[in-house]
Structure 1
Amino acid sequence: MPHCSIEYSANLDGRADMSGLCAALSQAILSTGLFEIGAVRVRALACAAYAIADQHPDNAFVDISFRIGRGRTGEEKKRTGEVMFAAAGDHLAHLFDTPHFALSLEIREIDAELSWKKNAIHPRLRGQ
């Protein structure tokens, strides 16, 4: 159930490779060994409307939200966040060349009793 949603200011279109960021984060998530490949989802959504800090037109952001099911230790969650944040930071490093960019990441656990899923990908990847 690891779902990674990236919200970003639309003024980054043409300045940052969001498909590449999705791929980098997917690889980072899988590199931890904590998540099954068939469950990983990474998506990026441009925000057309936003107001950032002093509203300078060059201000931009990437906000990463990573939702996971319960069952990992605090250390495993922290390590996952560090790996993901490093991958995002490396991929977006050029945006820090100006004083107008903000990057954030948050990990949240999903309550299994309040989450419904049906996945036909798992059986295929598990060879069932």
Structure 2
Amino acid sequence: MPHLTIEYSGNLDTRVDFAKLCRTVHATILGTGLFELGAIRVRTIQSRDYAIADLLPENGFIDLSFRIGRGRTEAEKKATGDAIFKAVSEELSTLFSTPHFALSLEIREIDPELSWKKNAIHPRLRASNG
């Protein structure tokens, strides 16, 4: 793990290049040096229906949810969150030029006793790097 989900209001579909945003976030996560390449997942979920603040139709949001396994220090988690938030904020800077956009990020640690995984990507990537 790390898995980062980008949930966003559907009115941003034509204003944000979400494929590019996913690649930016992926590169930022990898750049921390804290996570193995084969574990990184970045994906989007569009919210078709939503009600934001004063209900103006131009209001939009992006909520970043970053789930990680245990084992990083508080300083490492904070530095990772800072790096992701900065990269995303820079990429979305035009959205902040209007008073209708909200961005949030939360990092959550996953309890290893309550998390099941099976990954065929790891062995392939480890073999090619070893």
TM category (shorter chain) comes to over 0.9
Q: Which residue of 1 aligns with 2:87?
A: 87
Name the SS for the 2:50 alignment partner.
Answer: coil
User: How does the TM-score come out when normalised to structure 2?
Assistant: 0.97
Shift of 1:8: 0.1
Q: Distance in 2 between matches of 1:80 and 1:22?
A: 16
Name the SS for the 1:15 alignment partner.
Answer: coil
Name the count of aligned residue pairs: 128
Name the SS for the 1:107 alignment partner.
Answer: strand
RMSD of aligned alpha carbons: 0.7
Structure 2 unaligned blocks of 5 or more? none
Structure 1 unaligned blocks of 5 or more? none
Shift of 1:51: 0.3
Q: Which residue of 1 aligns with 2:16?
A: 16
1:9-36 CA-to-partner distances (Å, cap 9, x unmatched) read 0000111111111000000000000000
Name the SS for the 1:62 alignment partner.
Answer: strand
Q: Distance in 1 between matches of 2:62 and 2:23?
A: 15
Name the SS for the 2:80 alignment partner.
Answer: helix
1:81-122 CA-to-partner distances (Å, cap 9, x unmatched) read 000001110111110010000000000000000000000000
Q: Which runs of 4+ in 1 moved over 6 A?
A: none
Name the SS for the 2:51 alignment partner.
Answer: coil
Q: Which residue of 2 aligns with 1:75?
A: 75
Q: Distance in 2 between matches of 1:38 and 1:107?
A: 19
Q: Which residue of 1 aligns with 2:52?
A: 52
User: How does the TM-score come out when normalised to structure 1?
Assistant: 0.99
Q: Distance in 2 between matches of 1:103 and 1:21?
A: 13
Say whether 1:38 aligns with 2:38: yes
Report 1:97-116 matches (<5 A).
97-116=97-116
State the one-letter code of the partner of 1:9. S
